Amino acid sequence: MVYTPKHLRKSRLTLLRAALGGVLVLTLILGLYILFTPLPKTSVPLASRLFDVRGRQVASLYTQNRVDVPLSDIAPDLRNAIVAIEDYRFYEHFGVDPVAVVRALVRNVQAGRVVEGGSTITQQLAKNLYLTPERTFERKIHELFLAFKLEARYSKEQILRLYLNTIYFGHGAYGAEVAAQTYFGKHARDLTLAEAALLAGVARSPGRYSPYVDPSAALERRAIVLKRMTELGYITPAQARAAEKEPLRLVGLKAKAARAPYFVDYVVRQLEPRYGADMLHKGGLNIYTTLDLDMQAAAEEAFRQGLPVSFRDARGVTQPQGALVAIDPKSGEIRAMIGGRDFSETQLNRAVAPRQPGSAFKPFVYLAALQNGYTAASTLSCEPIALPVPGQPPWTPTDYGDKDYHFRPLTLREALTISDNVVSARLNYELGPAQGIAVAHDLGIQSRLTPHLSSVLGTNEVTPLEMAAAFCAFANGGRRVEPLAVLRVEDRFGRVLEEHQPSIRQAADARAVYIVTNILENVTRPGGTGSAVGRILDRPVAGKTGTSQGNAWFVGFTPDLAAAVYVGNDEPARDIYGTGGGLAAPIFAGFMKKALAGTPPHDFTRPAGIIEAEICTESGLLATRWCPPETVRRELFIQGTQPWQPCNIHTPWSSGQLPWPFGGLEPGPAPFRSPGGEGTPGQPAPGREETTQPSAPPP
The strand ranges marked E within 500-600 are 504-506, 542-548, 551-557, 562-568
Neighbours of 26 (CB within 10 A): 10
Question: CA Rg, the chain, in Å?
Answer: 37
With beta carbons less than 8 A apart as the criterion, state whether 363 and 504 touch: no
With beta carbons less than 8 A apart as the criterion, state whether 576 and 310 touch: no
Amino acid occupying residue 222:
R
User: How far apart are alpha carbons 215 and 222 in whole angstroms?
Assistant: 10
With beta carbons less than 8 A apart as the criterion, state whether 530 and 587 touch: no
User: How far apart are alpha carbons 448 and 441 in whole angstroms?
Assistant: 9
With beta carbons less than 8 A apart as the criterion, state whether 99 and 84 touch: no
Q: Is 257 exposed, middle or buried (0-12, 13-18, 19+ CB in 10 A)?
A: exposed
The question of whether 359 is a catalytic residue gets the answer: yes
Strands 632-638 and 408-411: unpaired
Instruction: Considering the candidates 86, 333, 635, 689, report the single residue annotated as catalytic.
Output: 86
Q: How far is CA 516 from the centre of its chain?
A: 29
Alpha-carbon torsion (83, 88, 90, 96), positive or negative: negative
Nearest alpha-carbon partner for 588 in 262, 295, 260, 291: 295
Neighbours of 189 (CB within 10 A): 16
User: How far apart are alpha carbons 416 and 410 in whole angstroms?
Assistant: 10
Nearest alpha-carbon partner for 260 in 62, 58, 51, 56: 58
The question of whether 92 is a catalytic residue gets the answer: no
User: How far apart are alpha carbons 330 and 335 in whole angstroms?
Assistant: 12
Q: Which residues of 90-104 are buried (b: 16+ CB within 10 A; e: fewer)?
A: beebebbbeebeeeb
Nearest alpha-carbon partner for 624 in 596, 602, 657, 647: 647
Strands 318-319 and 311-312: antiparallel
Partners of 318 in the beta sheet? 312
Instruction: Considering the candidates 210, 331, 359, 674, report the single residue annotated as catalytic.
Output: 359
Triad 50, 55, 61: Cα angle to 5°: 15
With beta carbons less than 8 A apart as the criterion, state whether 440 and 364 touch: yes
With beta carbons less than 8 A apart as the criterion, state whether 292 and 597 touch: no
What 8-state DSSP symbol labels residue 337? Answer: E
What 8-state DSSP symbol labels residue 361? Answer: G
Nearest alpha-carbon partner for 118 in 106, 133, 134: 106
With beta carbons less than 8 A apart as the criterion, state whether 411 and 378 touch: yes
Q: Which residues of 202-231 are buried (b: 16+ CB within 10 A; e: fewer)?
A: bbeebeebbbbeeeebbbebbbbbbbbbbe
With beta carbons less than 8 A apart as the criterion, state whether 341 and 321 touch: yes
Neighbours of 552 (CB within 10 A): 29
Tell me the helices (H) and strands (E) count for the chain, helix number first. 21, 22
- The number of residues making up the chain comes to 699
Partners of 287 in the beta sheet? 50, 489
Residues forming the active site? 86, 359
